[in-house]
Amino acid sequence: MSEILKAREKQIYRKDEHDFDLACEKQSLAGSVSQRACVFCGSRVVLYPIADALHLIHGPIGCAAFTWDIRGALSSGPELHRLSFSTDLREKDVVFGGETKLYDSLVELIDLHKPNAAFVYATCIVGLIGDDVDAVCKRVSQEKGIPVLPVHSEGFAGTKKDGYKAACEAMMRLTGTGPTEGISPHSVNILGDFNLAGEIWIIREYLQKMGVEVVANVTGDGRVADIQRAHGAALNLVQCSGSTIHLAKMMEEKYGTPFMRVSYAGIDDMASALYGIADFFGDEEMTRKTKELVKAELDAVFPEVRKYRKKLQGKRAALYVGGAFKAISLVKALKLLGMQVALAGTQTGNAEDYALLKDICDPGTIIVDDSNPLELCGFLKEKDVDLFIGGVKERPIAYKLGIGFCDHNHERKEALAGFVGMLNFASEVYATVMSPVFKYKYRDCKNERNRESA
């Protein structure tokens, strides 16, 4: 296929057509129009939903402007995270250094907004101009009496995944600093859900019904004080493994907190997550409640899902999302709707993720790492799909090709997690795949053909 650059061939796999040895976790190829962002982006998306913290972006204006209120990250209380704070560095700061401006900005904003912590994101040029961000943070922290945490997220210093890691390291510094008295032995932290459209509230409700206490949300609808006492939880639930697995591993090492990888997308994965939690605690009462919960939810959801399935049976879908865990759940969810998955790709999957993904995909399915618009366009055309699932940057590709689209990232407004999320998902897929507007898409071609034959 001509859309594929030679240097990228190893990052594309067609199931059962050749041996599986997918290259991944590589730096994006220059000039290939990767759909990925940068280190800063990784840190920003992970920490962003902590709603009572000040998120100050130290650098020129772009990084802050582009991430202002960029996605749902709903909060049940404070909404400080929805403001976009920047030191807005100028030429003279680049020449003389930005430390004073950083200090003054932090003091000014902390006095004004009274946050419970501050995160300071170092962007590309901060390291180059030699600002000692750590020292400024330390000083302000002492003066203001709140944690002020540097996040080393210089955009060029790795990939988005390194940004996740930097975010985890900043959060790790918060853990272990709050009181843990009174935390139930049946307690968890929810890692890797960002509450874009209220997902974490759905999960918390399930856990509450099971009798499980949630100590900290990491980070959807997150609070500083909760993360400070996160080490008191008995278990870490890790979704979206790329973004927060590093925190889970650090907490395991330092506090002995075990972690469990879960996914809340789709009926199967949601149910097995809840059963897994009940098994972990080994509490009979909890197991009984979990069974009740799952049964009640399935009874409510299944008949509806079946209706959609009737209509969607046999339709073809493609997906290209950020993390591989999400991709795996989506493949299962699409199968539940009777749909065929023709393409499954991710920006940041690792070898282990891709092996799992390969196992659940049908022969011929394309699995791709760190793709780009031209490749994706080629795959979509080749597989002649009815639906494409992705984020904002994938949407116009689908629409230009006249293919239905479902946003599984920043801009969605309906929760796709949990049992109810499966229904929301089915309803959105149905709305786009069955829309009558697509029948007009070939009109121009017909006209052109008519002209040719005339």
Partner 1 sequence: MSAIESLHSQTEDNAMVVDITKMATTKEKRKKAVSTTNACKLCEPLGASLVFRGVEQSMPIVHGSQGCATYIRRYIISHFNEPVDIASSNFSEAETVFGGAPSLVTALDNVIAKYSPKFIGVSSTCLTETIGDDMSAIVREYKKDRKDMLLPEIVTASTPSYAGTHIEGYHAAVKAIVEQMASGGPKLDKVNVFPGIVSAADLRHLKEIFAGFGLDYTLLPDYSETLDGSSKCEYENIPSGGTTIEAIREMGRAQGSVLFGLTQKSSQTGAGELKKRYDIPVHKLPLPIGIEQTDRLMRVLEQISGQPAPKFMEEERGRLVDAYIDGHKYIFGKRAAVYGEEDFVVSMAAFLTEIGVRPVICASGGESGRFAETIKKLLPEESEDIQVAEGVDFYEIGNMAKETGVDLVIGNSKGYRTARELGVPLVRVGFPIHDRIGGQRILSVGYRGTQNLFDTITNTIIARKQDSSPVGYTYM
Indicate which single residue of 11, 28, 189, 371 sits in contact with partner 1 (rule: CB under 8 A). 28
Using rule CB under 8 A, residue 349 touches partner 1: no
Q: How far is the CB of 205 from partner 1 (least distance, A)?
A: 29
Q: Which amino acid is at 149?
A: L
Indicate which single residue of 1, 128, 300, 431 sits in contact with partner 1 (rule: CB under 8 A). 128
Using rule CB under 8 A, residue 96 touches partner 1: no
d(CA 291, CA 311): 30
Stretch 411-450 residues interacting with partner 1 (CB under 8 A): 411, 440-445, 448
User: Could you tell me where the DSSP H helices lie in 149-231?
Assistant: 160-174, 199-210, 224-228
Residue 105's CB is within 10 A of a number of other CB atoms, namely: 22
- Which one of 102-110, 211-219, 244-252, 353-361 is the stretch in contact with partner 1 (CB under 8 A)? 102-110
- Which one of 16-24, 28-36, 273-281, 306-314 is the stretch in contact with partner 1 (CB under 8 A)? 28-36
Dihedral angle computed from the Cα positions of residues 323, 66, 80 and 102, in that order, rounded to the nearest 10 degrees: 110
Three-state secondary structure call for residue 422: helix
221, 49 contact by CB (below 8 A):
yes
Using rule CB under 8 A, residue 296 touches partner 1: no
Q: Note the residue count of the chain.
A: 454
Cβ proximity to partner 1: between 264 and 379 the closer is 379
Stretch 364-383 residues interacting with partner 1 (CB under 8 A): 373-374, 377, 381
404, 384 contact by CB (below 8 A):
no
d(CA 220, CA 257): 20
Q: How far is the CB of 411 from partner 1 (least distance, A)?
A: 8
What would the DSSP string read from start to end of 320-387?
EES-HHHHHHHHHHHHHTTPEEEEEEESS--HHHHHHHHHHSPTT-EEEES--HHHHHHHHHHHT-SE
Q: How far is the CB of 142 from partner 1 (least distance, A)?
A: 20
Cβ proximity to partner 1: between 288 and 400 the closer is 400
Indicate which single residue of 11, 24, 36, 357 sits in contact with partner 1 (rule: CB under 8 A). 36
Indicate which single residue of 24, 41, 240, 317 sits in contact with partner 1 (rule: CB under 8 A). 41
Indicate which single residue of 45, 49, 59, 331 sits in contact with partner 1 (rule: CB under 8 A). 59
Stretch 151-190 residues interacting with partner 1 (CB under 8 A): 155-159
DSSP annotation of 67 reads T
Q: How far is the CB of 266 from partner 1 (least distance, A)?
A: 27
Q: Give percent helix, percent strand, percent coil of the chain, each to the nearest 5.
A: 50, 15, 35
Indicate which single residue of 14, 76, 84, 276 sits in contact with partner 1 (rule: CB under 8 A). 84
Cβ proximity to partner 1: between 232 and 391 the closer is 391
How does strand 117-122 pair with strand 148-152?
parallel
Using rule CB under 8 A, residue 454 touches partner 1: no
Using rule CB under 8 A, residue 387 touches partner 1: no
Per rule CB under 8 A, count of chain residues that contact partner 1: 78
Give the position of tokens 């590589």: 26
Indicate which single residue of 61, 250, 298, 351 sits in contact with partner 1 (rule: CB under 8 A). 61
- Which one of 101-109, 114-122, 244-252, 302-310 is the stretch in contact with partner 1 (CB under 8 A)? 101-109
